[in-house]
Structure 1
Amino acid sequence: MRALVEERGLGDRILIDSAGTGAWHAGHPPDGRATAEAAGRGILMDGRARQFTQDDFARFDLVLAMDAQNAADLRALAPDDAARDRVRLLRGYDPAAGPGDTQVPDPYYGGPDGFAEVFDMVDAACRGLLDHLLAGPLARA
């Protein structure tokens, strides 16, 4: 998403961050297979993993989850109904994803092909999300 936002010159208008619902990878760099897949697509993945906190609900207008379990975990952490309503599934923004096709699988325990498949899914969803933002909230800003 960060690469798409920068490509469109919107880096000063859209704040993007990434965090997990668990702390088991906190402080670690991205998985080497993900980094390699991203590099092959001209995308730099850097940074360190961190755990999502309740304070993040105050920082972000939209909180995106990769799957239903993570979305449920985020909603359980939300301080109120308004924050819970800002949790969405990322693939919900993929125009090609059907109603039962909203989960992004975790490629961690698979091979490199799984990372390519997930990058394709995430890319399509991020493009749909950016189109949504440009047609709605960013169009009004």
Structure 2
Amino acid sequence: MGNICRSPTAETVLRRYAEQAGLTQSICIDSAGTHDYHIGDAADARTQRAAACRGYDMSGLRGRQVAANDFTRFDYVLAMDKSNLAILQHLRPGEANCHLGLFLEFARRHAEREVPDPYYGGADGFERVLDLIEDAAEGLLEHLRQRNLRQ
């Protein structure tokens, strides 16, 4: 929604995994919210704390809202939950060919298909978000590797 919890976590994790895989030159990774609540704001302090405990640095990220050109700039636009996916489907321009779906469709170890919003919960919610996102990030990068091998 506001780009201060789940999506910047996914951006941070994906950037780390892409760097470890040597893919930073071939993959553009970004995050954005569907609402304008936190444009220009840093990620939620609890999100940053949970990420820091796993060695991730989110201090340079700032919230932004999805823009129409995101749907043509990126091959994949992935939502954290079905309500945000519905908003993205509504915002998507007709000429956009990007894959629009749920981030957790790439998860391999977790059955959930939506990343729960940890904003109103405790620290364990932020840990759960990281678990889910790390799983899906691994799956997404593997998917991209396989797709590039076929092309």
TM-score between the two structures when normalised by the length of structure 1: 0.91
Deviations 1:43-72 (A, max 9, x none): 111210000011111110000100001011
Following superposition, the deviation at residue 96 of structure 1 comes to 2.7
Which of 57, 61, 66 does residue 47 from structure 1 map onto? 61
Q: How far apart, CA to CA, are the structure 2 residues paired with 1:43 and 1:8?
A: 16
- Greater RCO structure (CA 8 Å; 6+ sep): 2
Alignment equivalent of 1:74, drawn from 73, 84, 88? 88
Please tell me the root mean square deviation across aligned C-alpha atoms, in Å: 1.4
Task: State the partner residue of 1:23.
Answer: 36
Q: Tell me the distance in 2 between the aligned counterparts of 1:5 and 1:139.
A: 16
**Stretch moving more, 112-121 or 38-47:** 38-47
Matched-pair contact (CA < 8 Å) for 2:72–2:96 = no
**Other structure's SS at 1:88 match:** strand
Does residue 144 of structure 2 align to residue 133 of structure 1?
Answer: yes
Deviation of 1:81 (Å):
6.5
Kindly, what percent of the aligned residue pairs are identical? Answer: 44
Is 1:62 the counterpart of 2:76? The answer is: yes
Q: Give ranges in structure 1 of 5+ residues lacking alignment.
A: none
Q: Distance in 1 between matches of 2:109 and 2:55?
A: 24
Partner of 1:13: 26
Q: How many angstroms does 1:97 deviate by?
A: 3.4
Task: Specify the code of the residue in structure 1 equivalent to 2:132.
Answer: M
Aligned-pair CA distance for 1:113: 1.0
Is structure 2 residue 108 aligned with structure 1 residue 95? Answer: yes
Q: Which residue of 1 aligns with 2:124?
A: 113
Task: Provide the C-alpha distance between the structure 2 equivalents of 1:51 and 1:82, rounded to a whole number of angstroms.
Answer: 18
Return closer, same or farther for 1:81/1:58 CA change in 2, 3 Å cut-off.
closer
Of stretches 32-41 and 15-24 in structure 1, the one that deviates more from structure 2 is: 32-41
For the residues of structure 1 that align with 2:132 and 2:108, how far apart are their CA atoms? 11
Report how far residue 76 of structure 1 moved.
Answer: 0.3
Give TM-score, length-normalised by structure 2: 0.86
Match of 1:124 in 2: 135
Distance 1:81 1:26 in 2: 26
Structure 2: give runs of 5+ residues left out of the alignment: 1-13
